[in-house]
Amino acid sequence: MRAIDELYTKRPFSGSRTVCKKLGINRKRAQRLMRLLGLEAVYPKRSTSRPAPGHKVFPYLLRNLEISRPNHVWASDITYIPMQHGFLYLTAVMDIFSRNVLSWRLSNTLTGDFCVEALDAALSKATPAIFNTDQGAQFTATAFTSRLIESGVAMSMDGRGRALDNVFVERLWRTVKYEEVYLREYTDGWQAEESLGSYFDYYCNERRHQSLKYRTPAEVYSSG
């Protein structure tokens, strides 16, 4: 699973056939593990997974949108975090203009509770105009969408199978994994949480981004 995650993080267009060839496993196993990780190759497909039955899907609002200020657009996603034994799921809420990570949470299951906790933590600091996610069941669930609707936030959702619609969060995951996760071998969830907490503090308050004119995400976020 870690090898699949590393391959996908580096080449998000890799489907199960590519995984089979690269890792020398059969396709059924590759497909099963990719489903467990919540991964699918980034390209339009005729048949794709869907939100849970009864969940509402919202239109994608970011196409051709100029994101001009902090709290204009926030985005969230989920990724897989390997440990020495087992794995966890990580979610984060990011301000797109500044790349500032407003909140994050870990979970050992893909139930939506940890996504709602991360959202509530972010909303306690500010309110965005638009919130963008994929169409995963965690984000289309009423427990999640109702928080945003009650706060007057416009909801935006990527097209299925189009992870690059949420490209800034995808870039965050790549950075977190190559600068933190793949350099560690977390022994348990406590160590993962402590180490990731230190990394996100560094990412927001010390790591300077060329795209931000060599300022930190926290500096850009607070300047708005």
Count, residues in the chain: 224
Give yes or no for a contact between 130 and 114, defined as CB atoms under 8 angstroms apart.
no
Q: How far apart are the C-alpha atoms of 81 and 98, rounded to whole Å?
A: 24
pLDDT of residue 215: 97
Helix (H) or strand (E) holding 132: strand 130-133
Say if residue 29 is exposed, middle or buried (CB neighbours under 10 Å; 0-12, 13-18, 19+).
middle
pLDDT of residue 9: 78
User: DSSP letter at 12?
Assistant: T
Q: What is the residue-level pLDDT of the chain in tens, covering all 224 positions?
A: 888 888 877 776 677 888 888 888 888 888 888 877 767 655 444 333 355 666 788 999 998 899 999 999 999 999 989 998 889 999 999 999 999 999 999 999 988 999 999 999 999 999 999 999 988 899 999 999 999 999 999 999 986 545 555 788 988 999 999 999 999 989 999 999 999 999 999 999 999 999 999 999 999 999 87
pLDDT of residue 31: 86
pLDDT of residue 8: 77
Give yes or no for a contact between 48 and 57, defined as CB atoms under 8 angstroms apart.
no
pLDDT of residue 2: 83
pLDDT of residue 213: 93
Neighbours of 182 (CB within 10 A): 14
Give yes or no for a contact between 187 and 162, defined as CB atoms under 8 angstroms apart.
no
pLDDT of residue 46: 34
Backbone angles phi and psi of 77, in degrees to 5? -160, 175
